[in-house]
């Protein structure tokens, strides 16, 4: 009995130590960041290039291309919740852990389906539309089986707020690194092939293979330390979903994310059109990606400093506000000139790094907030439901450009009218800025978790023997 009490006391002391002091090594944080670098080598292919591939290579209309994104992402949002439930319901957790096996066994199928989405078969128009729907829906399903466990993993790695911010920093470094590399190399490499319908799948396959290697490094390099096993009580999955509906922090974070992520991906989906038809520089995406990557490290350092100084919530709001100001300046004053556009756009992306970095620390905090409110820890369901929100925002970011391009009378590979040019400016600058402004107001008023409050919650959970 005394031995058991001693073990329990030692466990609590270790938990409190984990809460108060950062403990993750640089190597483990880097390995975690490599996971999202691997994700980006597959996911970014679709988000940046697939709509243009659909319209210009596969040969389907912008409307149907946008519809593929809308339907596929909404479908995948429901897949996410299923994967989250599957992850949380695991009871016989082996030495590989609760979350890591999904990364290990899911990466190769994901890479193969990434390539499949960029193949242009010789079919009639209806067949091409069906092909686009089928391949992209399968890709998104495979991505869920890797990304949901990967995102849930951080809450099990550490309870310390500083460690979680650092994991978010390294994750965003991986994500932005993938965006930089894919943004700068894909178009030039595809251009080396006289037939772009052949070039796209070859280039995408090379990047997807790199993604597999990075996923394996992540799998080997991280450790799950705080895994709460589910009991055999029936109905826990349903209870977890009902508890989620009462989780105010999650509801506000999800709404904020829906708007800000839609804004970010909307710019990604429309940038190729803006650069080619408004700026007259089709390959500008490479330079923009290089400039965005150049400000990444300074932005990450600033994020770390601001998070320590004023907390994650205020840090995120500073970044969103800066993004809104810069997008407005480019729309009204600087967006037509090559040099001034690049300068203001780079500053805008600098600010955008900040909220995108701390977002991942928010969702880990919301896990403990929900556990504190309900007594039930559900990393998989919370992260998958959060991912549901992100997928809906991505669906809107894919569908809105397709619909908007149709409404503003966009026609591929020809000179656009003045009305279409203005429509592209509104789509590229105004819509993301307005969506971000609404998100900023909602987050400022409604999000209840500060770093200080979260630390208090986690210590209370430790005293209740729930960690």
Domain that holds residue 429: 10-463
| 4 is a domain residue | no
Give CA–CA dist 293/349, Å, rounded.
9
Mean pLDDT score of the chain, rounded to an integer?
A: 85
Inform me whether the pLDDT recorded for 211 exceeds 60.
yes
| CA nearest to 460, candidates 8, 12, 4 | 12
| 293 is a domain residue | yes
- Specify the pLDDT at position 40: 93
pLDDT single digits (tens) 217-258: 999 999 998 776 655 555 555 666 677 777 888 889 989 988
Inform me whether the pLDDT recorded for 6 exceeds 90.
no
Number of Cβ within a 10 Å radius of residue 31: 20
CA 112 to chain centre: 21
Q: What is the mean pLDDT of residues 188-206?
A: 93
Distances (CA, A) of 314 to 167, 311, 322: 19, 6, 12
Highest mean pLDDT among 38-42, 152-156, 418-422: 38-42
Inform me whether the pLDDT recorded for 5 exceeds 60.
no
Structure tokens of 415? 């000179």
| CA nearest to 163, candidates 46, 312, 49, 330 | 312
348-374 burial, b at 16+ Cβ within 10 Å, e below that, comes to bbbbbbbbbbbbbbbbbbbbbbbbbeb
Q: What is the mean pLDDT of residues 337-358?
A: 91
> At 184, which CATH number?
1.20.1250.20
Comparing 351 with 164, which gets the higher pLDDT?
Answer: 351
| 99 is a domain residue | yes
| CA nearest to 365, candidates 154, 177, 180, 197 | 154
The total of structural domains in the chain comes to: 1
Give CA–CA dist 74/79, Å, rounded.
9
pTM for the model: 0.72
- Specify the pLDDT at position 257: 86
- Specify the pLDDT at position 121: 93
| 3 is a domain residue | no
Is residue 91 classed as helix, strand or coil in its secondary structure?
coil
| 123 is a domain residue | yes
- Specify the pLDDT at position 359: 82
Q: What is the mean pLDDT of residues 374-391?
A: 78
| 439 is a domain residue | yes
Q: Are 289 and 180 in contact (CB under 8 A)?
A: yes
Of the listed ranges 229-238, 371-380, 397-406, the one predicted with least confidence:
229-238
Comparing 189 with 88, which gets the higher pLDDT?
Answer: 189
Q: Are 201 and 118 in contact (CB under 8 A)?
A: yes
DSSP letter (8 states) at residue 136: H
Burial zone of 318 (CB within 10 Å; 0-12 exposed, 13-18 middle, 19+ buried): middle
- Specify the pLDDT at position 383: 79
Give CA–CA dist 393/382, Å, rounded.
17
- With a CB cutoff of 8 Å and minimum separation 6, the contacts of 367 are 155, 377, 378, 379, 382, 383
Comparing 222 with 466, which gets the higher pLDDT?
Answer: 222
Q: How confident is the model at residue 136 (pLDDT cuts 50, 70, 90)?
A: very high
Comparing 391 with 143, which gets the higher pLDDT?
Answer: 143
Inform me whether the pLDDT recorded for 10 exceeds 70.
no
| 44 is a domain residue | yes
| CA nearest to 89, candidates 226, 244, 237, 234 | 237
| CA nearest to 399, candidates 44, 62, 50 | 62
Distances (CA, A) of 41 to 51, 181, 264: 17, 8, 18
Q: What is the mean pLDDT of residues 412-431?
A: 86
Of the listed ranges 69-83, 207-221, 300-314, 421-435, the one predicted with least confidence:
69-83
| 20 is a domain residue | yes
DSSP letter (8 states) at residue 229: P
Inform me whether the pLDDT recorded for 79 exceeds 80.
yes
- With a CB cutoff of 8 Å and minimum separation 6, the contacts of 208 are 41, 42, 45, 110, 111, 112, 114, 115
- Specify the pLDDT at position 381: 80
Inform me whether the pLDDT recorded for 11 exceeds 60.
no
C-alpha neighbours within 13 Å on the C-beta side of residue 467:
30
C-alpha neighbours within 13 Å on the C-beta side of residue 109:
15
């Amino acid at each position: 009995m005394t031995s058991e009490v001693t073990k329990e006391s030692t466990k609590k002391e270790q938990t409190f130590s984990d809460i108060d002091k950062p403990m993750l090594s640089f190597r483990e944080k880097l390995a975690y960041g490599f996971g999202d670098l691997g994700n980006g080598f597959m996911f970014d292919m679709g988000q940046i290039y697939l709509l243009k591939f659909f319209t210009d290579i596969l040969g389907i209309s912008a409307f149907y291309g946008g519809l593929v994104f809308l339907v596929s992402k909404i479908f995948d949002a429901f897949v996410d919740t299923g994967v989250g439930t599957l992850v949380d319901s695991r009871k016989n957790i082996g030495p590989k852990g609760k979350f890591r096996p999904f990364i290990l066994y899911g990466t190769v199928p994901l890479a193969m389906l990434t390539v499949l989405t960029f193949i242009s078969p010789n079919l009639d128009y209806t067949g091409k539309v069906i092909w686009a729907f089928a391949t992209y829906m399968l890709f998104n399903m495979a991505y869920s089986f890797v990304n949901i466990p990967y995102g849930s993993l951080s809450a099990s790695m550490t309870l310390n707020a500083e460690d979680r911010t650092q994991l978010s920093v390294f994750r965003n470094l991986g994500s932005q690194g993938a965006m930089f590399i894919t943004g700068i190399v894909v178009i030039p490499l595809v251009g080396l092939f006289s037939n772009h319908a052949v070039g796209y799948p070859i280039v995408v396959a090379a990047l997807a293979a790199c993604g597999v290697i990075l996923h394996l490094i992540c799998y080997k390099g991280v450790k799950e330390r705080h895994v709460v096993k589910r009991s055999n009580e029936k109905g826990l999955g349903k209870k977890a979903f009902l508890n989620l509906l009462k989780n105010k922090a999650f509801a506000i974070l999800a709404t904020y994310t829906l708007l800000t992520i839609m804004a970010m991906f909307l710019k990604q989906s429309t940038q190729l059109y803006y650069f080619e038809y408004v700026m007259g520089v089709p390959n500008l995406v490479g330079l923009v990606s290089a400039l965005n990557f150049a400000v990444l490290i300074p932005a990450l350092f600033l994020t770390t400093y601001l998070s320590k100084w004023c907390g994650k919530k205020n840090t995120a709001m500073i970044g969103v506000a800066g993004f809104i100001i810069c997008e407005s300046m480019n729309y009204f004053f600087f967006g037509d000139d090559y040099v001034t556009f690049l300068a203001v756009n780079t500053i805008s992306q600098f600010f955008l790094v900040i909220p995108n970095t701390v977002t991942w620390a928010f969702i880990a905090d919301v896990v403990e907030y929900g556990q504190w409110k309900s007594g039930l820890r559900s990393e998989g369901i919370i992260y998958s439901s959060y991912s549901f929100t992100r997928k809906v925002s991505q669906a809107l970011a894919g569908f809105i450009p397709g619909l908007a391009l149709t409404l503003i009378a966009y026609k591929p590979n020809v000179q656009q009218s003045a009305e279409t040019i203005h429509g592209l400016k509104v789509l590229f600058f105004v819509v993301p800025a307005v969506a971000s402004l609404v998100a900023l107001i909602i987050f400022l008023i409604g999000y209840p978790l500060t770093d200080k409050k979260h630390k208090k919650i986690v210590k209370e959970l430790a005293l209740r023997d729930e960690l």
